[in-house]
Structure 1
Amino acid sequence: MEWLGLPFITGLPDSGQVILSCTHNPFLVLLAYVVACVGSFAMLDMAERVDHAQKAQSQRLWRLTGTACLAGGIWAMHFIGMLAFQAPVEIHYALPITLASLLIALLASWLVMLTLSQAQQTLWRYVKASVCIGLGIAAMHYVGMGAMRSEAAAYFEPTLFTLSVLIAMLAGLAALLIARQLRGGMGLPHQLKKYTASLVLGAGLFSMHFTGMAAFNLVLPAGSVLTPPGENDHLQLGLTVAVMTLLIIGSSISAALADKKLQHKEHDLQRVNALLSQLDQARMSLQQVAHYDALTNLVNRRGFNQLFAEKLSEKTKEGGMLAVVFLDIDHFKRINDSLGHDAGDELLKVLASHIKGSVRSHEDVVARFGGDEFCILIGLHDREEARQMAQRIMMKMKEPIELAGRRMVMTTSIGISLFPEDGSTCEELLKNADLALYQSKGNGRNGLNFFSANLKTRATLELQLEEELRHALRENIGLMLYYQPIFDLKTGLVSKLEALVRWQHPVHGLLSPERFIAIAEANGLIAELDNWVLRKACEDLSELSRQGCEALRIAVNCSPLNLAREELADEIEQALRVAGVAPQRLELEVTENALMGNIANTLVLLRQIRALGVSLSIDDFGTGYSSLAYLKRLPLNTLKIDRSFIQEIPESTQDMEIVQAIIIMAHTLHLQVVTEGVETLEQYEFLERYGCDFVQGYLLSRPVPLAELRPVLNEINQRQYSSPVIPSGQVRGTSALTSTDPFPGSPYSRATASIARPVR
């Protein structure tokens, strides 16, 4: 505010005269308070109109009206208060700055109305909004004071200045809280509360203004001659501003009152018409709405639970069996995503009729629980009846369906639980049928499964593992990285490591990723787990650098779900920066199917990662469905051949030809080739002969923790041409070899096999 000539922090000058004989016109002071109260009342009234308006256009209109009323009240109160100020010096006001203060008042008032228009908010959000509102009101006040022009210079006492800003914030908070408390009220008590609230809010605004005026000092520069003020019309101008402001606000309040009465009449008329039209239908439709699905006309969940309880009670007393059959349409979401929800609804009607036609008309209950989930309750004599019915439904589902100009075939996954074998209550039987359904989905869909005790045990174990994995990630306990060397056939040295996560479980021991990665992906933990692996790998890479392995690179696997996150590139950059590792030493491995899942978004993200300097590798190549047309567009550095193509070499001529073709293709695309799963010397020699760049597998070393890595690297890097001996049971298909072990008797030599390579 220094540009306005209003110093707030600096003290009074060493020289000059402080003008002490400043007063206020009592009438204008009282008039300023009245205007502030009327503006506050108008704001409260307009906030109610916004709440009651049904159309967005009406809400915007009342919001703008409330903004104008509140801003006019605040600004007019301030302006009249300034006119009430009387000093023994000539004072006039700059019009542009005065208008600028009005604009600030409008912005602050708009923020008030906008905050009140939102749904119910927390106290913290109101506090934040009140800070902004208070700052706006204070800015309006002090910008308005900056319009004052006189021979004397304006100075402010810092304590009172700060207090005035705090009062403005408290006034803003009070306005928000009071308006929320008054929402929805009606009648005379409500109006009395509103009048009282207006007086309180007006007092808050009034207090802020005159606290700011109390902090105000006029200092006449040393040597200046005090020029007495001439004739002024402050009283007349103040009255004019007050009358105009009150007329405008009064008109707005009158319009709001008329709208409120008209709306009440309209609502009353609508309620009467609605009640008359619905009264005759209510008795007939109530049961249908409560217990039947509107789309398929099947029983809904509530109706099913009621019938289920009745049948369960009957079977418990008289004896007999019941089967709960859960059905889920396979890949139904694709229909909604590709053809739209209307087509999906039509398909659900057809499928519901197929299911209904596959059961006994009067004895069995068919329900739609929601979405593409159906449930059937059947009475039966033996387990095989349930299986036969489920198979009939599956066959019926496979009949072609004409939909949206397409001919499609749908399949279903089914889970079955039996009473009394699998449970004695509705909740237990439904839960167990649901577990069997997910077993069918996990087995590839288009199948049926009966509930078994091991499903419940496995579900319980997975839930426990999920909780423990969440705890392990939160507390950084139990998770660790193992590293498997990747051997460079050209240099004859280990140049890369693949980071493989392990979990040292307190009960189940060391768990491989196969035990917990799927749980992490299914429960939203995979991003956190991948980020932990990334950060830990960068930390370990930094530690390896301190141990003298500055040239080593680390490859980190990336989950397909994590590859779809836009934040991945930023997380990689942060992990590298925190660990102090060069981006060129990190390689991100992504699976073939993950790359092809959403090629457009994947390309953008991969280019961002490559722009950091991080290398990219396509993992498990050959197991997915990648297109060469897309593959050549991807910013890849390395192609990793899946172990399934190397396991049968040299016995399988077909696998050898496939590997040769992949190597040639990769080199044509200027990609380096890594082959994983190398376990025998014959496989190693074959890959070296046909130009593979890197190999990885048990022939070199099993994955080892960081603490055991350095001796393994030294042992691999020091191997020479010889006849190595491969320990029994460590690798298969190898011939008798011998090795010169630089670490005799160490566990690393027993866990690995030597590689015969030429001396370069």
Structure 2
Amino acid sequence: MLASAHNLVLVLPSILIAILASYTALGMAGRIAAARGRAAYGWLVGGACAMGIGIWAMHFVGMLAFSLPIPLGYDPVITALSLLIAIASSAFALWLVTHDSLPWHRLLAGALLMGSGIISMHYTGMAALRMSPGIQYIPSLFVASIAIAIGVSGIGLWMAFHLRRRSSHEGLLRVGAALIMGLAIAGMHYTGMAAAEFPAGSICGAAGAGVDSGWLALVVIVITMAVLGIALVTSVLDLRLESRTAKLAESLASANEKLRHRSLHDSLTNLPNRVLLEDRLKQRMHAADLEQKQFALMFMDLDGFKAVNDAYGHHVGDSLLVQVARRVLSEVRQQDTIARLGGDEFVLLTGLVEPDDAARLAESMLSIIRRPFQLAGHELRISTSIGIVMYPRDGASQHDLLTNADAAMYHSKSLGHNTYCFFQTSMVANAQQQLLLLQDLRLAMERQEFDLYYQAKVDAKSGGIIGAEALLRWHHPVRGLILPDAFIPAAERSGMIVQLGAWVLGEACRQLQAWHDQGYGDMSVAVNLSGLQFGHTGLVGAVRDALQRNNLEPRHLTLEVTETVAMRDADASILILRQLNDAGVRIAIDDFGTGYSSLLYLKRLPAHELKIDRGFVRELPHNAEDAAIVSAILALGHTLNLLVVAEGVETIAQQRFLTALGCDSLQGYLFGRPLPSDQFQYILHSSLRGPSGV
């Protein structure tokens, strides 16, 4: 037998080629599995060529590393056939591992077929030597090479299938797998070469090609490395592109989800908005029709929210709305829907089928919103008014349900806030009247339909006029004279009360200055402040502007704030009243005795007057309880160095009783009804002293 040898300079590159080819094949499997349509076929063809060339190059370089003591050469046709076999085997392997599953029977069959392909490629390449006599193979090593080829194929297929999906350790796993596969492929090749025996006197029929085996090996190595490198770089770049595309798609999907969420939810409270509410209301109505059941819908509007928003700013108002939403969510069931329609309006859609259950839920809503809110270092108190409708009794459409619930809510507000009302048909007409009134109210300022009437305020002892209270009147072109109780609530709900209050301040100061110019220099005028106006951030500026514009001394202006408004948020009220006091105006606490004053806060209020509510004066001097209350208020006021004014004095007996108790000033029909400025001026000119029947 001829003695054979291997050139180690070429053996090592052949092993490196096997490892690189294995690494490339593993990457190609992942790309084929991830691709779809034509792209998958393109990656399959490209991957098969790269992998096939790599395996064949390893084999061919290993053949070139082999030497005998006779000239050697390779038949180009047979060599090309071995390359095609390598590519075909690679294509089959890549196709197999791109399936969704790889059961053991399929893995075994694939290993047998691919192993057969590798064996065919190797021994076809050996046949390209065209030895004469033919190559003889040692049976044991020949069988071992076949076994190694099948085993390598099975291991390679299993690794490629499981590594095609990306993982956190994908890179390290692929390198390890490539090392195992590359060494196994090289082991199969060199086992097959070791099995070959060449008898003495053998001749290579393909010898004499004239190409040096060293240079041929270098060319094959360079070309193979280039092919594998291009395939590997392409795979990596495509993987990165796919990763970026996937991230972009994920970001786009996330952005679309956020946009969808925002389109269906309120941005401040994250509650469902009107769009989502209407969709869920539609579904609830459909389910109720199928099951022949009813359900409740509640329209909720916060009482006093505008005052908080104007007094402390929009950031505090927004925080208050968020806390209200959280409280309501904590009370409703998971299957119920609480939505914010905008501003301080909320709608609760609940599956409760009995009116009594809806009433209990409404009571719960009133209770939780009535509890104090701690915001910006202040204890804020608000309430809510609720209108309730039952489907299908109170409306057959979404529009009817929401409209009727809104009408019921406004009716609850007209009852004094902090309550709930079930819808009644008569409320629709009232709601329409309120809407028309609000529309007329907006035009009234432009048309100068408002006027101030003045009611005398007299000294209790002398009966002389010492001042007047300015009272707003509306001369409606159709309804005639309208008193404040009929339109002030609408003005507060719409926010027009701030503009209207500023006009009242300016007009009262102008009229008072006119009276001063006419010689009534000791006259003062009192102006009532609404709750919303009192809490408005521009109140102090509006007062100062009215005084400066009319060149009026601040001490002649008295601002009246009801006890209820002053005590709604005592800390904030003290701050506002101190600012007004610093501006020089006088402060009166109106309707005293009807609210829930705390003496601790009352003594801190920078007030100058207490006004006894007319409800305590009406039955004097015959009602002992009212007499005791009035006596107590007078004693309290004088103890705190406050002047005490009694309202609603209509009889001489009331006048005498109050004067005897020590009341400082009196107001009421006994001394004159509210009059326009020109008629009130006539009374001043007549130097009214004592009771008058006007």
TM-score range for the pair, normalised by the shorter chain length: 0.5 to 0.7
Percent identity of paired positions between Structure 1 and Structure 2:
35
Runs of 4+ in 1 over 6 A off after TM superposition: 265-269, 281-300, 313-316, 318-321, 329-334, 336-346, 395-401, 410-413
**Consecutive unaligned residues in structure 1, runs of 5 or more:** 1-264, 357-365, 380-384, 721-748, 753-760
1:186-214 C-alpha deviation (Å, 9 max, x unpaired)? xxxxxxxxxxxxxxxxxxxxxxxxxxxxx
Corresponding residue for 1:642?
613
Distance in 1 of aligned mates of 2:250 and 2:579: 63
Q: In the alignment, residue 456 of structure 1 is paired with which amino acid?
A: V
1:390 paired to 2:358: yes
1:462 paired to 2:442: no
Answer 1 or 2: higher relative contact order, Cα 8 Å, separation at least 6: 2
How far off is 1:386 after superposition?
A: 4.2
Corresponding residue for 1:427?
399
8 Å CA contact 2:452–2:676 kept in 1: the answer is yes
Corresponding residue for 1:626?
597
Secondary structure, aligned partner of 1:510: strand
Corresponding residue for 1:498?
469
1:351 pairs, out of 324, 331, 339, with 331
1:663 paired to 2:621: no
Distance in 2 of aligned mates of 1:399 and 1:461: 30
Structure-2 change in CA distance of 1:411 and 1:397 (3 Å): farther
Distance in 2 of aligned mates of 1:395 and 1:552: 49
How far off is 1:277 after superposition?
A: 8.3
8 Å CA contact 1:394–1:411 kept in 2: the answer is no
1:519 pairs, out of 490, 496, 501, with 490
Distance in 2 of aligned mates of 1:548 and 1:267: 91
1:578-623 C-alpha deviation (Å, 9 max, x unpaired)? 2233322221112223333344443344334333432222211112
Distance in 1 of aligned mates of 2:579 and 2:251: 61
How many residues of Structure 1 are paired with residues of Structure 2 in the alignment? 435
1:684 paired to 2:655: yes
Q: In the alignment, residue 429 of structure 2 is paired with which amino acid?
A: T
Q: In the alignment, residue 559 of structure 1 is paired with which amino acid?
A: S
**Which aligned pairs between 1:440-455 and structure 2 lie closer than 5 A?**
440=412, 442-443=414-415, 448-455=420-427
1:226-266 C-alpha deviation (Å, 9 max, x unpaired)? xxxxxxxxxxxxxxxxxxxxxxxxxxxxxxxxxxxxxxx99
How far off is 1:326 after superposition?
A: 1.8
Secondary structure, aligned partner of 1:651: coil
How far off is 1:396 after superposition?
A: 7.7
8 Å CA contact 2:296–2:355 kept in 1: the answer is no
Structure-2 change in CA distance of 1:456 and 1:610 (3 Å): same
How far off is 1:647 after superposition?
A: 1.2
8 Å CA contact 1:482–1:705 kept in 2: the answer is yes
1:478-532 C-alpha deviation (Å, 9 max, x unpaired)? 1011111111123331111111111111111111110111111111111211111
**Which aligned pairs between 1:346-745 and structure 2 lie closer than 5 A?**
347-353=327-333, 356=335, 366-370=336-340, 373-376=346-349, 386-391=354-359, 393-394=361-362, 415-417=387-389, 422-440=394-412, 442-443=414-415, 448-475=420-447, 477-713=448-684, 717-719=688-690
Structure-2 change in CA distance of 1:320 and 1:576 (3 Å): same
How far off is 1:387 after superposition?
A: 1.8
Secondary structure, aligned partner of 1:678: coil
Secondary structure, aligned partner of 2:453: strand
Structure-2 change in CA distance of 1:666 and 1:325 (3 Å): same
Structure-2 change in CA distance of 1:433 and 1:321 (3 Å): farther
1:305 pairs, out of 278, 281, 287, with 278
Q: In the alignment, residue 558 of structure 1 is paired with which amino acid?
A: L
Distance in 1 of aligned mates of 2:576 and 2:283: 56
Secondary structure, aligned partner of 1:656: helix
Q: In the alignment, residue 606 of structure 1 is paired with which amino acid?
A: L
Corresponding residue for 1:215?
none
Corresponding residue for 1:272?
246
Q: In the alignment, residue 524 of structure 1 is paired with which amino acid?
A: G
1:438-490 C-alpha deviation (Å, 9 max, x unpaired)? 43455466755332333222222222222222222234x11011111111123
1:353-409 C-alpha deviation (Å, 9 max, x unpaired)? 2x75xxxxxxxxx43324994543769xxxxx64244246457879999x9xx9xxx
Corresponding residue for 1:262?
none
Distance in 2 of aligned mates of 1:659 and 1:554: 24
Secondary structure, aligned partner of 2:531: coil
Q: In the alignment, residue 426 of structure 2 is paired with which amino acid?
A: N
Corresponding residue for 1:145?
none
8 Å CA contact 2:355–2:390 kept in 1: the answer is no
Query: Structure 2 length as normaliser, TM-score?
Result: 0.53
Q: In the alignment, residue 368 of structure 1 is paired with which amino acid?
A: I
Corresponding residue for 1:219?
none
Structure-2 change in CA distance of 1:342 and 1:268 (3 Å): farther
Q: In the alignment, residue 407 of structure 2 is paired with which amino acid?
A: L
1:651-676 C-alpha deviation (Å, 9 max, x unpaired)? 21121122112212212222111111
1:398-426 C-alpha deviation (Å, 9 max, x unpaired)? 9999x9xx9xxx99965343566644432
Structure-2 change in CA distance of 1:468 and 1:291 (3 Å): closer
Corresponding residue for 1:98?
none
1:3-35 C-alpha deviation (Å, 9 max, x unpaired)? xxxxxxxxxxxxxxxxxxxxxxxxxxxxxxxxx
Distance in 1 of aligned mates of 2:558 and 2:383: 41
Distance in 2 of aligned mates of 1:267 and 1:348: 48
Structure-2 change in CA distance of 1:296 and 1:350 (3 Å): farther
**Which aligned pairs between 1:74-473 and structure 2 lie closer than 5 A?**
272-273=246-247, 275=249, 302=275, 305-306=278-279, 308-309=281-282, 323-326=295-298, 328=300, 347-353=327-333, 356=335, 366-370=336-340, 373-376=346-349, 386-391=354-359, 393-394=361-362, 415-417=387-389, 422-440=394-412, 442-443=414-415, 448-473=420-445
Distance in 1 of aligned mates of 2:475 and 2:574: 36
Corresponding residue for 2:201?
none
Q: Which protein has the larger Cα radius of gyration, Structure 1 or Structure 2?
A: 2
Q: Which moved more, 1:695-704 or 1:543-552?
A: 543-552
Tell me the C-alpha RMSD between the 2 structures.
Answer: 4.7
8 Å CA contact 1:295–1:349 kept in 2: the answer is no
8 Å CA contact 1:678–1:699 kept in 2: the answer is yes
8 Å CA contact 1:390–1:414 kept in 2: the answer is no
8 Å CA contact 1:323–1:416 kept in 2: the answer is no
Q: In the alignment, residue 630 of structure 2 is paired with which amino acid?
A: V
8 Å CA contact 2:464–2:690 kept in 1: the answer is no
Structure-2 change in CA distance of 1:707 and 1:377 (3 Å): same
Query: Structure 1 length as normaliser, TM-score?
Result: 0.49
Structure-2 change in CA distance of 1:324 and 1:588 (3 Å): same
Q: In the alignment, residue 640 of structure 1 is paired with which amino acid?
A: K
1:680-716 C-alpha deviation (Å, 9 max, x unpaired)? 1111111111111111101111111112113434667
8 Å CA contact 2:510–2:550 kept in 1: the answer is yes
Structure-2 change in CA distance of 1:588 and 1:267 (3 Å): farther
Structure-2 change in CA distance of 1:327 and 1:527 (3 Å): closer
Secondary structure, aligned partner of 1:496: strand
8 Å CA contact 1:480–1:504 kept in 2: the answer is yes
